[in-house]
Amino acid sequence: MKTMTTTAQLLEQAVAALELRPSGASYSGSFARDWMQHARRETIVKHSPADDSPLAAISLSSLDDLQQSIDASVEAFDRLRSMPAPARGGIVREIGNQLRLHKESLALLVTLEAGKITSEARGEVQEMIDMADYAVGLSRQLCGLTIASERPDHRLLEQWHPLGPIGVITAFNFPVAVWAWNAMLALVCGDPVVWKPSPITPLCSIAVQQIVAKVLAQHDLAGASTLALGGADLGMKLASDERLPLISATGSTEMGRSVAATVAMRLGRSLLELGGNNGLVVAPSATLDLARRAILFAAVGTAGQRCTSLRRLIVHRSIEAELVSSLVEAYRSIRIGNPWEEGVLVGPLVNQAAVDSYLQAIEDARREGGEVLVGGSHLHRPGNYVEPTIIRMPAQTSVMLRETFAPILYVVGYEELEEAIEIHNGVPQGLASSIFTSDLREAERFLSSRGSDCGIANVNIGTSGAEIGGAFGGEKETGGGREAGSDSWKAYMRRQTCTINYGTTLPLAQGVEFDL
């Protein structure tokens, strides 16, 4: 991708390639853009996290707009569920092909709006494509069980049916991939999707929705994917609508509690992917160079704004000095800058609020006895740039119990593996975890029921970068939801148990006798 000098030029490039310029739209001198041009709606101005320049003026959806989206989704449900699942898979294949055609432009939009470096933005769009491919295959494998019946001349089986229109609430840090984890599965399962993305990254969702809508319109399924742009009030309205049997929500634990309570009040289902506070144990037998490289990406990739980012490094005291010294040296060599520039490894935080949270966490860590070994500063230049930071802590203090969405790595030492596991599990969250060891017994202990209490547990790889083939999600305050691979598709369907009597008598289960 050709490096350009301003966000305005880059945005123009992405907009032109994605054909997102509607007739009659105008650009101001600041390159702000009104995508919907409805004066009655609330408008926000989206700024670039890289240089704080205005990218676009976005008209938010009203509550009436949301109701229309849900109405369209309900109407599309009957048509979508009536299609054979492999036919739905064919539509998802077409969506995946369109995403392939627009991969570079979508990745550029992710870079401009979320601040991800180019390779990570491309990886996120590739994840959408991979989810489409996965869902196409899944469309021929939505299998139930045939179960042995205790009654003669009876067949007992279970089958899966489309659940209904679902609401999907996504976060800014993966502005398109998390939608795909849900939407690709939902569509092949027969469920329309109403998407409420983060208001921090609206342009990415507009672009994806436009691509998807063109494909669905060709199959008379225009309402099978709809978009509602807005904040928490819109999200809670979505969560309270009884026509949506499932709400999948990704974001903070506080948001998840509100969504879960609202959905539970109407006895709906919620699928929650919430906070992470991920730990990595380095044992004495670990290959330190391998651990160092894994720690570096897990801790500073996406500027520490992944739910699977490494927050806590728990290292055996016999190797602590050597490993930490090599990490400090590596941190000092990291290039920070405009995320689209070649060679940059760390881009900006998403906004000023994230910078403030970063600075507050460092202040709290120092107050609790932490020693900043490298980093710790806000870079005073246009944009939301901070230094990746390593802080040695005397123990696991209160600042380490909360998730700070920034490139801060806390380091604590340990003597025995049991102590390391206790430290690791001693936080409210339970998403991703890892151990670096060459000792088989230590690895198996970490993966056992008495080891990591997280939904994801790794050996000799970092905490971030999960593959779509496995179910993604965590325990405790992470919410318990599972998305993407394995049998996550079952969340988007309803199970039906069926019994067929092909005999001439009517035996009852459990040997019950009831003669008339």
User: Catalytic amino acids?
Assistant: 273, 307
> Helix or strand or coil: residue 314?
strand
> Locate tokens 């509602």: which residue?
228
At position 214, the amino acid (one-letter code) is K
- The number of residues in the chain equals 516
Q: How far apart are the C-alpha atoms of 368 and 393, rounded to whole Å?
A: 8
At position 506, the amino acid (one-letter code) is L
How, if at all, do strands 408-414 and 389-392 pair? parallel
> Locate tokens 């890289």: which residue?
50
> Locate tokens 């995320």: which residue?
339
Q: How far apart are the C-alpha atoms of 445 and 121, rounded to whole Å?
A: 36
Q: Which helix (H) or strand (E) holds 410?
A: strand 408-414
- Are 486 and 182 spatial neighbours (Cβ–Cβ below 8 Å)? no
Q: From 456, 473, 488, 494, select the one nearest 184 (Cα to Cα).
A: 488
Q: Which two tokens stand for residue 362?
A: 């460092």
Q: Which two tokens stand for residue 85?
A: 């699942």
Q: Dihedral sign, CA of 430, 432, 437, 438?
A: positive
> Helix or strand or coil: residue 434?
strand
Torsion of CA 122, 128, 134, 135, to 10 degrees: -170
Q: What beta strand segments (E) does 51-100 contain?
A: 54-59
Which of the 8 DSSP states describes residue 201?
A: S
> Helix or strand or coil: residue 496?
strand
Q: Which two tokens stand for residue 471?
A: 């179910």
- Are 224 and 80 spatial neighbours (Cβ–Cβ below 8 Å)? yes
Which of the 8 DSSP states describes residue 378?
A: B
Q: Which residues contact 380 (CB under 8 A, 6 or more apart)?
A: none
> Locate tokens 């020693």: which residue?
371
- Are 295 and 409 spatial neighbours (Cβ–Cβ below 8 Å)? yes
Q: What beta strand segments (E) does 119-275 contain?
A: 146-147, 154-162, 166-169, 193-196, 225-227, 246-250, 269-273
> Helix or strand or coil: residue 133?
helix
DSSP H helices in 139-245? 177-189, 202-217, 232-240
Q: From 487, 472, 113, select the one nearest 274 (Cα to Cα).
A: 472
Q: How far apart are the C-alpha atoms of 195 and 179, rounded to whole Å?
A: 8
Q: Which residues contact 28 (CB under 8 A, 6 or more apart)?
A: none
